[in-house]
Structures are given as C-alpha cells and as structure tokens.
Chains A and B, each alone.
Chain A
Amino acid sequence: MTKSELIARLAARNPHLYQRDVERIVSTIFDEISDALARGDRVELRGFGAFSVKTRDARVGRNPRTGESVHVASKVVPYFKTGKQLRELLNE
C-alpha cells in the first residue's frame, strides 16, 4: 500500500471530505511524527507501535573495496517498535 492508496481508502470511507483534505490529514500526521523524531522526542501510538530515535556510537569502519579504515561518526537513527496489539494481529 502506498501513500496514495492509503489516501484513496480513507477518501472512500469519508465521502464527505475532499480528497485534498484527506491528503493534508495524512501528511500532517507523518510530518508531526517526523518533527517529533527530529527533536529527539518519542511518539507512542498504543496498540500500533512507538517511534523513537537511537544513537549509534562512532566506530571505525572499513571501505569494503579498498580495505581502508575510515572513521564513521556517531549518528541518530529512527526506530520503530511494533505495539503489542498489532504484533498479535500479525500472528493470528
């Protein structure tokens, strides 16, 4: 399912809304989650899952082609943990 398919499904369930508004609703939700993660905040959607960020330490990596050691700086990565209810639904 792509974002446009998601929007189409929501629009079908909400015939009183303009497609344009449904698009804005979907964008707003994921923009808000992205903004929160960019601030270092956590987003918890009980039943669905939780988004957070994790810090990866700096390390010495290797260029796989040349074998040369390179310094890899520490970085922050987005992380998602599936909620209990969704995890159970996936395994029913």
Chain B
Amino acid sequence: MSERTITRAQLSEAVYQEVGLSRNESADLLEMVLEEMSQALVRGESVKLSSFGSFSVRDKGERVGRNPKTGQEVPISSRRVLVFRPSQLLKARVNAEPVRGTMT
C-alpha cells in the first residue's frame, strides 16, 4: 500500500471540485469546520458525525508516571483528552469490507 499524507490542501481542493466555490472560500470553509468542531470539544461537548465517527472529551485524573529514560517518578497532572471512536461504517471501509445496507 502506498502511503501518502493528505493535508488541508487536498481536502479543500476536493471541496472546490465538488461544490464550485472559489479555492479561497473552499479553504475557509474547511477551516470553519475544524474550528466549529474544536470549539464544541473545548466546551466539553462531543461531536458525532454519523457514518464517520464521534469525538468526545475524557477527563483523566492525576497519576504518577515515570521518565522512561531515567526511571524517575514524575507526577502527571489531571488533563482532558480527546477520544475518537470510528463508526462501524468507517471501520468496515478501512478493512475493505463490503458495507451492507448503508447509504452515505
């Protein structure tokens, strides 16, 4: 499998091809999508995109970690982490399984 890296450039090009806005506006809209999603997550909301997956925020408590190089114990402060759960459809697609009865 040839592994390429897709970036904002290819995504906004796809929007440009598909919707017929200018390239600039296509890039702006992509940015707004990421911005709205980020803001919702920062507010503590989860973001659920049917047929793609859902993003949610989880609170992790403080714990004791270890510097793997020195073996020294260091406290890891409590933090909020983002969790992505792919949809059944996306999981099936990356395994090249035929998808039954789902229209996207």
Closest A residue to B36 by beta carbon equals A9
Contact with A along B28-47 (1 / 0, CB 8 A): 01101110111011100111
Q: Give the distance in Å from the alpha carbon of A48 to the alpha carbon of B52 in the complex.
A: 16
Q: Cβ of A69 < 8 Å from any Cβ of B?
A: no
Tell me the count of chain A residues lying within 8 A, CB to CB, of chain B: 51
CB distance from B31 to the nearest CB of A (A): 10
> Given A10-B33, A78-B53: A32 and B81 within 8 A (CB)?
no
Q: Cβ of A70 < 8 Å from any Cβ of B?
A: no
A90 B80 Cβ-Cβ under 8 A: yes
Interface residue ranges of A54-92 to B (CB < 8 Å): 75-80, 82, 86-87, 89-92
Residues of A within 8 A of B (CB): 1-3, 6, 9-10, 13-14, 17, 21-22, 24-34, 36-49, 51, 53, 75-80, 82, 86-87, 89-92
